[in-house]
Amino acid sequence: MIDARRKFDWFSLIIGILLVVLGAAAINAPEKTLTLISIFVGIGALAKGIYTIWFRKTMQDFTGMKHTFLLISAVVDIILGLLFLLKINFGIGVLAYLFAFWFIFDSIMQLFADHFFKAMSRSYFDVLIVLNIITLILGIILLFNPMLSVYTLVGLVAFYLFFIGVVKIIQAF
């Protein structure tokens, strides 16, 4: 028989409290949050560029082909990573437009994919169309208002930190 009792999870409680505090800090200091996001994106791009160079070398050893496209991709990733790390304002500006383009691109792709749901349920299809049009409009608004875009990004990060923090606190009990 399985024992339904479980011990209090201190680790989840500590992580949960930390995430809630980080969520509050993200809202209270949006500029610092944007700086951190830019740094994380820069580190990620650098790591991806270095990995792509390693992967290119591995593929070259395996196939004998040079895979020039991988080298170009790696160089672009490394340059972007350095720009995000060394020119924080550039990184934040790129994030603003990247976030807006992500909304626009995703909503357009979903509008093309929504027709698959039409056969399942007309009302579900109609709701998807309306939601994706709203998302497209929001993306266009974000594109023309980069400050709104970056503050929306900060708000989403803060919400995520709060939400996961509360989940971890609940898991502790």
**Assigned domain for 119 exists:** yes
Q: What is the pTM of this model?
A: 0.72
Question: Per-residue pLDDT for the chain (173 aa), expressed as one digit of tens each?
Answer: 555 567 888 999 999 999 999 999 999 999 999 999 999 999 999 999 999 999 999 888 888 888 888 899 999 999 999 999 999 999 999 999 998 999 999 999 998 888 788 878 888 889 999 999 999 999 999 999 999 999 999 999 999 999 999 999 999 89
Q: Which residues contact 35 (CB under 8 A, 6 or more apart)?
A: 88, 92
Question: In degrees, to the nearest 5, what angle opens at C-alpha 120 toward C-alphas 129 and 135?
Answer: 15
Q: Which domain holds residue 75?
A: 10-168
**Assigned domain for 4 exists:** no
- Structural domain count of the chain: 1
